[in-house]
Amino acid sequence: MSSTSRTVTLLPGDGIGPEVINAARRIVDACDLGIEWEECRAGKAVFEEGDATGVPEETLASIQRNRVALKGPLETPIGFGGKSANVTLRKMLETFGNIRPARILPGIETPFSDRAIDMVVVRENVEDLYAGIEHMQTPSVAQCLKLVSERGCEKIARLAFEVARSQGRGSVHCVTKANIMKLTEGMLKRVFERVAADYPEITPKYILVDNCAHQLVRVPEEFEVLVSTNMNGDILSDLVSGLVGGLGIAPGANMGLHACIFEAVHGTAPDIAGKGMANPTAAILSSVMMLRHIDAFDAADRVEAAIALTMQQGKLTGDLAPKGMGVGTEAFTEAVLDNLGKEPENWVRREHKPLVLPDVGECESVPKTRRDIGCDLFLEGRVGPGELGAKLEELAEGTALRLKIISNRGTVVYPLTGAPTDCVDHWRCRFVARDENADLRHSDIALLMSKVTEVYRMCHHEVLMENDGARAYALAQGED
């Protein structure tokens, strides 16, 4: 029995989940590693019982105790329940990094079958727009807060370099939209550049996310590891899986210091659930990632090679095979079991070393000087910009702040520009200190707010800061 003997939490999931997870479990068991499975519940049935998280306390406790879980897809019912059970697991267990490898496998026909695609997408997993902080600002304008932290960026940047190091890869691409979102997306770029100095053997590269999507379908073999913020990574990882055959063969891992959850990233496919048609490859390859995580490298290599040989032999499930030629879940699983210990022709094993998960400790920047220099008041109003601007200038009289600009959907509309801006009822009104050298007090801003809100409904406000003399907020389109 292998020294990797341990207990792993098993979440069968919903829809086709139990079928594909059972296939993965059988193949892992065939490796004779002494793994014990602790089966737990999450997903649709838990929601239906009235648990708005979709994840019972005993399931969280099992994962925290075992620190490793293999999970099937979970359904988030529409119309009841709370957030996705998948999101609950990621946030409650602080699995900050999502790892999605993609490699061309033999026997799968795609437009990229002859390309040497072998890459990994490393995605920040708990913040960004997926923090899920949304509000209706007015009855017709919604807001979603994009939160990107220096700590989150450091963890995910270091994880990407550690993935490259553990797999012997030579480069990491940082993928952002920092040309537009200079503070949020720009933070990942800045932290990435700083972290790269600690990995001198790995070449750091930088690319904008739109160009990255373009280049992935032109020259995918030029990418080894990509690291990005949460939403960009979510989109790119699905694109990358499409290059090599689709979500049916796309494994994934949610990595954290306290627990790691390995999962197929496809959905529950309720239309084929229970029919023996599901492709278990993604679940099996997720178990391969799990085996490497617990240092069972030889077993992981044997399972991965057995899948490749099975596909090279033409035994493909219906989502990958020519119409009417596919095999079922059971037949595919049996073929992989029969092929354990064998490899396809010209198969190249990628050497893996243990992956070091970064524990960054305290990393937040602390400015030497900070100064509050103004505020943005977000107001609701079905008025014109000229009328609104004139009234706000009047209301600001006698306070420490003056109106600088008003913008609508990010574009300056006051002072009047003459541009044909199609305004909605959501106005960002920027006030700055009358004294350019002042450090405003919250009471100064509160006085302005009290006068403005006597006339207009305020959605929310933001304080404008300078850190170490540098502006810590973005300018509106057209603002000096």
pLDDT digits (tens, 9 = 90+) for 191-239: 999 999 999 999 999 999 999 999 999 999 999 999 999 999 999 999 9
| Catalytic residue check, 177 | yes
- Name the fold adopted by 1-95+249-350: Isopropylmalate Dehydrogenase (3.40.718)
Give tens-digit pLDDT for 116-152.
999 999 999 999 998 889 999 999 999 999 999 999 9
Q: Would you tell me which CATH number, out of the four given (3.20.20.70, 3.40.50.1360, 1.10.3720.10, 3.40.718.10), belongs to the domain 111-244?
A: 3.40.718.10
| Catalytic residue check, 210 | yes
| Catalytic residue check, 359 | no
pLDDT at 2: 46
pLDDT at 32 over 90: yes
Average pLDDT on 442-448 reads 97
| Catalytic residue check, 130 | yes
- Is the fold of 1-95+249-350 the same as that of 370-471? no
Three-state secondary structure along the chain?
CCCCCCEEEEECCCCCHHHHHHHHHHHHHHCCCCCEEEECCCCHHHHHCCCCCCCCHHHHHHHHHHCEEEECCCCCCCCCCCCCHHHHHHHHCCCCEEEEEEECCCCCCCCCCCCCCEEEEEEECCCEHHHCCEEEEECCEEEECCECCHHHHHHHHHHHHHHHHHCCCCEEEEEECCCCCCCHHHHHHHHHHHHHCCCCCCEEEEEEHHHHHHHHCCCHHHCCEEEECHHHHHHHHHHHHHHHCCHHHCEEEEECCCCEEEEECCCCCCCCCCCCCCCCHHHHHHHHHHHHHCCCHHHHHHHHHHHHHHHHCCCCECCCCCCCCCECHHHHHHHHHHHCCCCCCCCCCCCCCCCCCCCCCCCCCCCCCEEEEEEEEEEECCCCHHHHHHHHHHHHCCCCEEEEEEEECCEEEECCCCCCCCCCCEEEEEEEECCCCCCCCHHHHHHHHHHHCCCCEEEEEEEEEEECCEECCCCCECCC
Q: What is the CATH number of domain 370-471?
A: 3.30.70.1570
Average pLDDT on 60-84 reads 85
pLDDT at 79 over 60: no
Identified catalytic residue from 130, 155, 189, 376:
130
Identified catalytic residue from 44, 177, 189, 315:
177
Identified catalytic residue from 32, 210, 298, 435:
210
Percent of the chain with pLDDT over 70: 98
pLDDT at 1: 38
Identified catalytic residue from 128, 234, 319, 376:
234
Q: Mean pLDDT across the chain, nearest whole number?
A: 94
pLDDT at 296: 96
pLDDT at 81 over 80: no
Q: Residue ranges per domain, the chain?
A: 1-95+249-350, 111-244, 370-471
Identified catalytic residue from 238, 295, 338, 425:
238
Higher pLDDT, 392 or 4: 392
pLDDT at 171: 98
Average pLDDT on 268-285 reads 96
